[in-house]
């Protein structure tokens, strides 16, 4: 059989295209802000991770322009070889200081970052305990750790008794890593970090928290899950994140004790064998960090926006899966085709959202994820709420009675 046979037999995307629902790879014209253009039509963006609205901020744009002219378009090399410039070291220092850790390491993408941590630290004889709803990048990194001889066990989502049972069953002296998202990307649920920390202490485990959706979002000053719970570097051993959400750029990072970060810097394959983030991209992240530090009120605005949407959608009768306090508002739909139909109807109504179906979420948990920015105005939010309510009524997701209340 030909290696490509599986590609010829793959018909899922074609079936969705044929039904007219294919929602992916939409071309967005112009910059990502609250208002975008798709297929020549103005649309409200309610499906972006640009939580603080900084992708079009003049300071971010200017910093990227200056770096482009000074350092050129690319470093054309890995951090280890020829790819480190002053901007990379500046951003590492700034991030470590901002998050309160001894040191930080930059990687080319957030997706690569768990691969620079989990399979590098967890090898033969070690145990990884991973929340079942962790992001795909952690799932991939776990598979690599298994390939290195580590044992990987998944615990039920945010289920501390289950995690404790798994920890108790392992020998105390076994080195362990608990891997969790800080904010879970499909629902906006926040990890039970105080309990994770307490279990980690009791059972000789280290914690790695993926704060991709928490940096710039959780905590009064946006320092993430640790700040949200009043925890710090003595509690959460390693924090990783991405610049592609609140920090309006691209690339990943991990912050932690200098002895660990220096080890990763020198032995983690993604740091050694992949070109470093390009200069304008790093400068944009540095500028976004300036704004985050100078204008924490953006975080409060984001939370107000999300709270307004959650309150309205709950009142309309939707099952809102998100607790609030993050940038994410997800609505349970529970059926694949209906989820695609809803995303399409919303786009036709002028609202861009993200549909999630299996395997991105467990079967039967299909959902529409909306996400918001500090820069959405009240009229954007009202238009999004009105469109979701109308489409939800048409699809029978909410009862007519509740919507009228």
Residues found near ligand PLP in the complex (CB under 6 A): 109-111, 135, 137, 181, 185, 210, 212-213, 242, 244
Element (H, E) at 41: strand 41-45
Least separation, in Å, of the C-beta of 258 and ligand PLP?
23
Residue number with CB closer to ligand PLP (137 or 330): 137
Residue number with CB closer to ligand PLP (101 or 243): 243
Q: What is the DSSP string of 275-293?
A: BPPPHHHHHHHHHHHHHHH
Catalytic residue among 185, 249, 330, 371: 185
Note if 185 is an active site residue. Answer: yes
Chain position whose Cβ is nearest to ligand PLP? 110
Least separation, in Å, of the C-beta of 59 and ligand PLP?
21
Residue number with CB closer to ligand PLP (135 or 176): 135
Residue number with CB closer to ligand PLP (191 or 398): 191
Catalytic residue among 57, 88, 213, 380: 213
CA-to-CA dists, residue 339 to 16, 307, 332, 358, angstroms:
12, 23, 9, 11
Q: Which of 372, 279, 329 is nearest to 32 (CA)?
A: 372
Least separation, in Å, of the C-beta of 352 and ligand PLP?
16
Residue number with CB closer to ligand PLP (213 or 308): 213
Catalytic residue among 57, 135, 228, 245: 245
Note if 245 is an active site residue. Answer: yes
Pairwise CA distance, residues 223 & 217, whole Å: 8
Pairwise CA distance, residues 333 & 396, whole Å: 10
Pairwise CA distance, residues 145 & 261, whole Å: 18
Pairwise CA distance, residues 86 & 83, whole Å: 10
What Rg, from alpha-carbon coordinates, does the chain have? 21
Least separation, in Å, of the C-beta of 108 and ligand PLP?
9
Least separation, in Å, of the C-beta of 42 and ligand PLP?
26
DSSP code at position 57: -
Query: Cα 286–110–97 angle (5° rounding)?
Result: 40
Catalytic residue annotation: 185, 213, 245
């Amino acid at each position: 059989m030909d290696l490509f046979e599986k590609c010829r037999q793959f018909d899922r995307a074609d079936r969705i295209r044929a039904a007219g629902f294919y929602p992916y790879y939409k071309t967005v014209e112009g910059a990502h802000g609250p208002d975008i253009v798709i297929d020549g039509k103005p649309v409200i963006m309610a499906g972006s991770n640009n939580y603080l609205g900084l992708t079009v901020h003049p300071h971010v744009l200017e910093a990227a322009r200056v770096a482009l002219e000074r350092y050129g378009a690319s470093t054309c090399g890995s951090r280890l070889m020829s790819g480190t410039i002053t901007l990379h070291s500046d951003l590492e220092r700034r991030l470590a200081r901002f998050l309160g850790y001894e040191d930080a390491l930059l990687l080319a993408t957030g997706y690569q970052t768990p691969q620079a941590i989990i399979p590098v630290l967890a090898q033969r004889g070690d145990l990884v305990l991973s929340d079942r709803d962790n992001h795909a990048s952690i799932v991939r990194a776990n598979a690599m750790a298994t390939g290195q001889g580590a044992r990987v066990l998944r615990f039920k989502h945010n289920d501390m008794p289950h995690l404790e049972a798994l920890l108790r069953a392992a020998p105390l002296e076994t080195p362990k890593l608990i891997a969790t998202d800080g904010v879970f990307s499909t629902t906006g649920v926040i990890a039970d970090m105080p309990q994770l920390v307490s279990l980690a202490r009791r059972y000789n485990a280290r914690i790695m928290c993926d704060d991709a959706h928490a940096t710039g979002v959780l905590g009064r000053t946006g320092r993430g899950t640790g700040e949200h719970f009043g925890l710090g570097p003595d509690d959460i051993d390693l924090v990783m994140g991405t610049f592609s959400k609140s920090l309006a750029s691209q690339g990943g990072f991990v912050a932690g004790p200098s002895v660990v970060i220096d080890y990763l810097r020198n032995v983690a394959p993604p740091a050694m064998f992949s070109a470093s983030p390009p200069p304008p991209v790093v400068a944009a992240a540095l500028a976004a960090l300036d704004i985050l530090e100078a204008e924490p009120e953006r975080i409060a605005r984001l939370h107000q926006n999300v709270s307004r949407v959650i309150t309205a959608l709950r009142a309309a009768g939707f099952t809102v899966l998100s607790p609030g306090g993050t940038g994410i508002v997800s609505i349970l739909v529970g059926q694949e085709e209906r989820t695609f139909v809803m995303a399409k109807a919303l786009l036709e109504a002028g609202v861009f959202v993200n549909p999630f179906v299996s395997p991105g979420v467990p079967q039967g948990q299909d959902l529409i994820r909306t996400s918001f920015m500090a820069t959405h105005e009240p009229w954007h939010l009202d238009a999004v709420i009105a469109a979701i309510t109308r489409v939800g009524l048409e699809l029978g997701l909410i009862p007519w009675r509740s919507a009228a209340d």
